[in-house]
């Protein structure tokens, strides 16, 4: 047999083997079972996530008022109106301030909770469970409780009365209403992120902590800077991303407690979107445009903070 025929024969044999292996993979029962289980989830994601997103973007290009059957194409006019609307700009400023304060404080508080309860004792487990209770209560229920807490006869004014400070209705003040809602959300969300940090702390090997003590890292600040933060960077990324997306989508507490008032002091983008859809004329196209503007802002902030935390060197 000539070398050329020998090479062709080997190539033909290898091709037959490859075809046979591909057929076996196609008949692989585990692969088929996996596909069968994934298909319903993919259908669910396509129907309830991708299709509504695409449809919402299409609606944002129209003046869409279903109540009076007024639908006509306007292009990007809705987007131009949204980014120039003083009400939307005010809501955006409010939610950015809220996000900066709440995400920062709740991240440090969650880490502090995790350090405080990072023991295997029964007292620590019970205390951690008590602290975690606000995280499992529904936002609406917690909002109703805090309406009483910040009312004239509520818990805050009761404690302030011991210092001779007169009662004040915090939620009707343009200065204190938003800080009161910030305090409520920090109180309810920090315990949730405490669990993320607790899992990260328990994953740190004891040998690393012993080596840090030998190297002289005895103070809490130095240990945080050189041990905890570098080793828990990905936990911090997760906490900040979840906190940022949740803060930027603030709605239910505002709706229940202040409805955006007083004088739009607590007005946020989702309140703007809700009002444009159901309260005012019913311009769903404008509301869809506002939602996509908010989506772009959240995306940019998420990517920015992801790079900042990842590329920071300690």
CATH number reported for the structural domain that contains residue 146 in this entry? 1.10.3720.10
> Residues 45, 153: one domain?
no
In angstroms, rounded to a whole number, what is the distance separating the alpha carbons of residues 219 and 31? 53
pLDDT of residue 7: 44
> Residues 88, 122: one domain?
yes
> Residues 103, 54: one domain?
no
Domain boundaries, position 11: 3-59
> Residues 232, 84: one domain?
yes
Asked whether residue 17 is domain-assigned, the answer is: yes
> Residues 166, 227: one domain?
yes
Q: Answer yes or no: are the C-beta atoms of 197 and 111 closer than 8 Å.
A: yes
> Residues 141, 281: one domain?
yes
Rounded to two decimals, the pTM is 0.82
Name the domain count of the chain.
2
Judged on CB neighbours under 10 Å (0-12, 13-18, 19+), 204 is middle
> Residues 91, 210: one domain?
yes
Judged on CB neighbours under 10 Å (0-12, 13-18, 19+), 170 is buried
> What angle do helix axes 284-311 and 51-59 make, rounded to 10 degrees?
120
pLDDT of residue 23: 57
pLDDT of residue 32: 78
Count of Cβ atoms closer than 10 Å to residue 309 Cβ:
15
Mean pLDDT by 10 residues, the chain (314 residues): 50 57 61 84 89 90 81 89 93 94 93 83 82 87 91 89 87 91 93 89 78 71 74 86 91 92 91 88 86 92 78 49
C-alpha dihedral (170, 176, 178, 181), degrees to nearest 10: -50
Asked whether residue 249 is domain-assigned, the answer is: yes
Asked whether residue 143 is domain-assigned, the answer is: yes
> Residues 87, 212: one domain?
yes
pLDDT of residue 4: 44
């Amino acid at each position: 047999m000539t070398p050329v025929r020998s090479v062709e024969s080997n190539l033909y044999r290898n091709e037959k083997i490859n075809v046979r292996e591909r057929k076996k993979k196609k008949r692989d029962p585990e692969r088929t079972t996996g596909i069968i289980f994934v298909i319903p989830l993919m259908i669910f994601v396509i129907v309830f996530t991708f299709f509504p997103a695409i449809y919402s973007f299409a609606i944002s290009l129209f003046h869409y008022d279903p109540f009076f059957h007024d639908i006509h194409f306007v292009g990007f006019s809705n987007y131009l109106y949204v980014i120039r609307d003083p009400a939307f700009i005010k809501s955006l400023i409010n939610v950015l301030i809220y996000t900066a304060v709440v995400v920062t404080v709740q991240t440090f508080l969650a880490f502090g909770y995790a350090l405080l309860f990072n023991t295997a004792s029964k007292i620590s487990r019970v205390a951690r469970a008590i602290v975690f209770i606000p995280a499992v209560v529904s936002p609406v229920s917690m909002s109703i409780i805090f309406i009483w807490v910040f009312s004239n006869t509520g818990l805050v004014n009761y404690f302030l009365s011991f210092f001779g400070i007169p009662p004040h209705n915090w939620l009707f003040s343009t200065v204190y209403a938003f800080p009161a809602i910030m305090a409520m959300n920090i109180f309810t969300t920090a315990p949730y992120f405490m669990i993320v940090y607790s899992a990260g702390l328990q994953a740190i090997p004891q040998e690393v902590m012993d080596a840090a003590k030998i190297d002289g890292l005895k103070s809490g600040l130095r240990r945080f800077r050189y041990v905890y933060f570098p080793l828990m960077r990905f936990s911090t990324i997760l906490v900040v991303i979840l906190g940022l997306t949740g803060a930027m989508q603030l709605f239910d507490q505002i709706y229940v407690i202040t409805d955006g008032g007083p004088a739009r002091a607590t007005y946020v983008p989702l309140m703007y979107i809700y009002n444009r859809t159901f309260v005012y004329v019913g311009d769903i196209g404008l509301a869809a445009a506002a939602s996509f503007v908010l989506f772009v802002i959240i995306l940019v902030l998420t990517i920015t903070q992801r790079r900042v935390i990842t590329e920071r060197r300690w």
